[in-house]
C-alpha cells in the first residue's frame, strides 16, 4: 500500500510541474480539468480551476445547522462538524454515543450539528484498501469546498445563534472548516470560544498563522491527533505535496491557547473516522477544557 501511495505522490509532483510549465507558457489563460469521481460527484468537479476554491456554490448545497439537544443550564452552543463518513459509521446527528461523550466531558450548553456538502456516497469508504485516484480527487475537491464553507458560510450561521458563546468540534475536513471559521471570524466578535480538532485535515505549519488566528477565540484550540491515521498520512500528504496535517502531528506553533494531544495510543487504530475517538473523547476534552461545573 505504501508503495502505491508513494507512486501516486510522485505522479502528482510530475503533474504539478507540468501544469506550472504550461501556465508560464500561456500566462493569463485558464486551466480547467474534469475530475472523474462517482456519478454523485462528477458534476460538482467539472471545470474547477486548479488550486482555487469554487467561485460559486450554486452547484453545492448550502451548509445548515440542526439542533440536537437544547441547553441545560449554560447559554452556550457547541457545533459538531464531520468530514467524510465510512460505510460503518452512523451520521453524527444519529449517533447518541457522540453527544453522550460531549455531555460526559462537562458540556451543559446546547448541541448542534453543522451539515455541509461532504457528499460521501454510500459505497465510498476511506480505508487503506481504497486510497486510489478516485479517493484522492474526491478529497481534493472537497478540501476546497470545506475551505469556502469555513471562510464564507459559517460566520453568518454561528453568529446569528442566540447563545452567548459558540464552540466547535470538527473531524477531518470538518476540522478544516473549523480552522477557516476561526480564520475568517471578525476579531471584534468575541463569541467564538473553544475549537477542538479531531484528525484535522489542515496543514500544521507556521504558514497557517495559528498563533494569529487563536487570538480570535476566548478559550482554547485543542488539536487531538493520531499518528497512525492512514488516510491523513498518505491521502492528505499526496494532495498537499507531502505537507503534514495537524491530524497526525502537533501544530508547530507555540501559543498558550494551543493544546496538542497525542491520542495515538488511545485510539490504537489506523482508521480515519470520528467514531474511533469516541471511547476516550470525554476524558480528552475534560483533560484540556474547563467545561466541568464544580
Which segment of 16-20, 127-131, 258-262, 288-292 scores lowest on mean pLDDT?
Answer: 16-20
- Say how many CA atoms lie within 13 Å of 131 toward its Cβ: 24
Q: What is the DSSP string of 173-192?
A: HHHHHHHHHHHHS-TT---E
CATH at 40: 3.40.50
Residue 34 lies in a domain: yes
Residue 45 lies in a domain: yes
Place of cell 503534514: 244
- In the sheet with 110-115, reading across from the earlier edge strand, the strands are 64-69, 110-115, 76-81, 165-171, 192-198, 221-225, 258-262
Residue 294 lies in a domain: no
Domain range spanning residue 187?
A: 2-288
Give dist(CA 216, CA 214) in Å, integer.
5
Give dist(CA 1, CA 222) in Å, integer.
31
| Total domains in the fold of the chain | 1
Residue 132 lies in a domain: yes
Residue 15 lies in a domain: yes
pLDDT per position as a tens digit, 161-189: 999 999 999 999 999 999 999 999 999 99
Judged by DSSP in three states, 75 sits in coil
pLDDT per position as a tens digit, 255-266: 999 999 999 999
Residue 293 lies in a domain: no
When mean pLDDT is compared over 32-36, 213-217, 236-240, the highest value belongs to: 213-217
Please report, for residues 223, 238, 292, the alpha-carbon distance to residue 268 in angstroms, rounded to integers and kept in the order given.
Answer: 17, 23, 27
pLDDT at position 133 over 50 = yes
pLDDT at position 39 over 90 = no
Predicted structure pTM score: 0.77
Give dist(CA 255, CA 278) in Å, integer.
27
Amino acid at each position: 500500500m505504501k508503495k502505491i501511495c508513494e507512486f501516486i505522490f510522485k505522479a502528482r509532483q510530475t503533474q504539478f510541474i507540468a501544469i506550472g510549465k504550461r501556465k508560464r507558457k500561456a500566462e493569463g489563460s485558464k486551466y480547467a480539468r474534469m475530475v472523474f469521481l462517482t456519478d454523485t460527484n462528477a458534476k460538482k468537479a467539472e471545470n474547477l480551476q486548479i488550486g482555487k476554491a469554487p467561485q460559486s456554490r450554486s452547484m453545492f448545497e448550502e451548509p445548515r445547522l440542526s439542533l440536537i439537544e437544547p441547553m441545560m443550564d449554560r447559554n452556550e452552543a457547541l457545533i459538531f462538524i464531520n468530514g467524510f463518513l465510512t460505510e460503518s459509521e452512523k451520521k453524527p446527528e444519529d449517533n447518541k454515543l457522540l453527544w453522550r461523550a460531549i455531555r460526559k466531558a462537562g458540556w451543559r450548553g446546547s448541541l448542534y450539528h453543522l451539515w455541509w456538502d461532504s457528499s460521501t456516497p454510500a459505497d465510498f469508504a476511506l480505508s487503506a484498501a481504497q486510497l486510489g485516484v478516485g479517493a484522492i480527487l474526491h478529497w481534493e475537491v472537497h478540501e476546497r469546498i470545506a475551505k469556502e464553507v469555513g471562510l464564507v458560510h459559517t460566520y453568518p450561521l454561528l453568529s446569528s445563534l442566540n447563545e452567548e458563546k459558540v464552540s466547535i468540534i470538527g473531524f477531518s475536513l470538518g476540522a478544516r472548516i473549523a480552522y477557516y471559521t476561526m480564520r475568517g471570524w471578525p476579531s471584534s466578535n468575541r463569541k467564538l470560544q473553544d475549537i477542538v480538532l479531531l484528525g484535522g485535515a489542515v496543514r500544521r505549519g507556521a504558514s497557517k498563522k495559528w498563533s494569529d488566528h487563536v487570538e480570535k477565540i476566548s478559550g482554547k484550540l485543542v488539536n487531538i491527533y493520531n499518528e497512525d491515521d492512514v488516510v491523513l498520512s498518505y491521502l492528505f500528504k499526496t494532495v498537499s505535496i507531502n505537507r503534514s496535517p495537524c491530524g497526525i502531528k502537533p501544530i508547530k506553533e507555540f501559543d498558550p491557547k494551543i493544546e496538542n494531544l497525542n491520542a495515538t495510543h488511545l485510539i490504537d487504530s489506523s482508521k480515519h473516522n470520528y467514531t474511533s475517538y469516541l471511547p476516550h473523547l470525554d476524558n480528552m476534552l475534560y483533560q484540556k477544557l474547563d467545561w466541568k461545573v464544580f
